[in-house]
């Protein structure tokens, strides 16, 4: 009996997906090369289901696949017309709640929000744009913060606290007023403990945190999601051991 045959499994849109104890539905699916759209999930951090884009249906109800433990024999639906339509609406809302103008964004082609939108067949934002007034913080000599593009995934918050040990970023406010802030006396990035080498600088799935003076080093059209759709890169987001931390 092979290792795959000895492992428990569930079905995802009719495909059998083996899993290891402790894995979530999303983790097992990605490890098996089966893509479920997602934004806030990152294999190096504990899932917390903030964006809801990875929502699937199982047991007759909706559940975020990044936080749902895989169970033997469960039946999971991800690509039904209803689920895809709900995901597309969530992504459309993210586009209008912030200021996301892909042609002018340095992150175009590397942006997961843009890539997921393409993969879901999103052709328009559908809803009216909010056009929030969010200032750009260019105070740091090496890093630019464009708060206009934040989708509140909390990846920079978690990376700064759990990996960098600095707690540079946080979320403040509630409801529509919820926003990303910098933990410094002035509220500016230049007065924080952030460094260009921090994990928090690299995990943003959109174009909020950018390094200065390296814009468009890779031409648009030759970037990660320009060359292959995000759904063809499922294994890139499979669970992997976190890098060792300094004692």
Q: pLDDT tens string for the chain (247 positions)?
A: 455 568 999 999 999 999 999 999 999 999 999 999 999 999 999 898 999 999 999 999 999 999 999 999 999 999 999 999 999 999 999 999 988 999 889 999 999 999 999 999 998 888 998 888 888 999 999 999 999 999 999 999 999 999 999 999 999 998 888 999 999 999 999 999 999 999 999 999 999 999 999 888 899 999 999 999 999 999 999 987 655 555 5
The answer to whether the CB of 47 falls within 8 A of the CB of 24 is yes
CATH code of the domain in which 206 resides: 3.30.70.20
190 and 132 co-located in one domain: yes
Same domain, 88 and 209: yes
Query: Are 15 and 133 in a shared domain?
Result: no
Residue 2 lies in a domain: no
Alpha carbon distance 199, 161 (integer Å): 10
pLDDT of residue 6: 83
- For residue 236, CA distances in Å to 31, 34, 56, 65, 93 come to 9, 11, 20, 17, 26
Q: What CA–CA distance (Å, rounded) separates 19 from 72?
A: 9
CATH number at residue 54: 3.10.20.740
Number of domains in the chain: 2
Q: Is the four-CA dihedral 243, 155, 118, 84 of positive or negative sign? A: positive
In angstroms, the CA 229 to CA 239 distance is 20
Are the beta carbons of 18 and 9 closer than 8 angstroms?
Answer: yes
User: Across the beta sheet with 136-137, what order do the strands follow?
Assistant: 136-137, 143-146, 209-211
**Residue 176 phi, psi dihedral angles, 5° rounding:** -65, -15
Task: State the DSSP code for 246.
Answer: P
Residue 1 lies in a domain: no
- The answer as to whether 192 is a domain residue is yes
- CB 58 within 8 Å of CB 68: yes
Q: Are strands 143-146 and 55-58 parallel, antiparallel or unpaired?
A: unpaired
> Are 126 and 95 in the same domain?
yes
Q: Which string of DSSP letters, residue by residue, matches 7-72?
A: S-EEEETTEEEE--TT-BHHHHHHHTT-----SS--TTS-----S-TTEEEETTEEEETTTSBP-T
Whether 221 maps to a domain, the answer reads no
**Statement to judge: residues 167 and 75 lie in one domain:** no
Is there a single domain that holds both residue 191 and residue 118?
yes
Residue that the structure tokens 């469960």 belong to: 74
Are residues 69 and 91 both part of a single domain? no
Q: Does residue 222 lie in a domain region?
A: no
Domain end among 79, 114, 141: 79
Residues 59 and 88 in one domain: no
134 burial type by CB count under 10 A (0-12 exposed, 13-18 middle, 19+ buried): middle
State the Cα–Cα distance between residues 223 and 227, nearest whole angstrom.
6
Residue at 163 is within a domain: yes
Nearest to 36 by CA among 60, 57, 5: 57
In a shared domain, residues 130 and 147: yes
User: For residues 78 and 64, is the Cβ–Cβ distance under 8 A?
Assistant: no
Q: Does residue 91 belong to any structural domain of this protein?
A: yes
Which residues constitute the domain of residue 23?
Answer: 8-79
118 and 204 co-located in one domain: yes
Tell me, yes or no, whether 68 and 171 share the same domain.
Answer: no
Are 98 and 151 in contact by the 8 Å Cβ rule? The answer is: yes
Q: Based on the domain organization, do 62 and 161 belong to the same domain?
A: no
Query: CB–CB of 128/93 below 8 Å?
Result: no
């Amino acid at each position: 009996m092979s290792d795959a045959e000895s492992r428990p499994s569930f079905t995802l849109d009719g495909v059998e997906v083996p899993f290891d104890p402790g894995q979530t539905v999303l983790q097992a699916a990605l490890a098996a090369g089966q893509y479920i759209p997602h934004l806030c999930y990152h294999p190096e951090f504990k899932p917390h289901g903030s964006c809801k884009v990875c929502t699937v249906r199982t047991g007759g109800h909706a559940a975020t696949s990044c936080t749902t433990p895989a169970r033997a024999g469960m039946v999971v639906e991800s690509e039904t017309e209803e689920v895809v339509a709900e995901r597309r609406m969530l992504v459309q809302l993210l586009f209008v709640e912030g200021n996301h103008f892909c042609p002018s964004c340095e992150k175009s082609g590397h942006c997961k929000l843009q890539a997921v939108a393409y993969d879901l067949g999103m052709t328009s934002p559908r809803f009216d744009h909010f056009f929030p007034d969010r200032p750009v913080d260019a105070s740091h000599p090496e890093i630019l913060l464009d708060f206009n593009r934040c989708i509140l995934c909390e990846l920079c918050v978690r990376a700064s606290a759990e990996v960098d040990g600095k707690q540079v970023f946080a979320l403040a406010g509630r409801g529509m007023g919820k926003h990303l802030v910098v933990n410094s006396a002035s509220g500016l990035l230049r007065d924080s403990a952030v460094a260009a080498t921090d994990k928090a600088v690299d995990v943003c799935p959109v174009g909020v945190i950018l390094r200065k003076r390296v814009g468009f080093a890779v031409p648009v059209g030759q970037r990660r999601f320009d060359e292959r759709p995000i759904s063809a890169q499922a294994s890139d987001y499979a669970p992997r051991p976190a890098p060792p931390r300094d004692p």
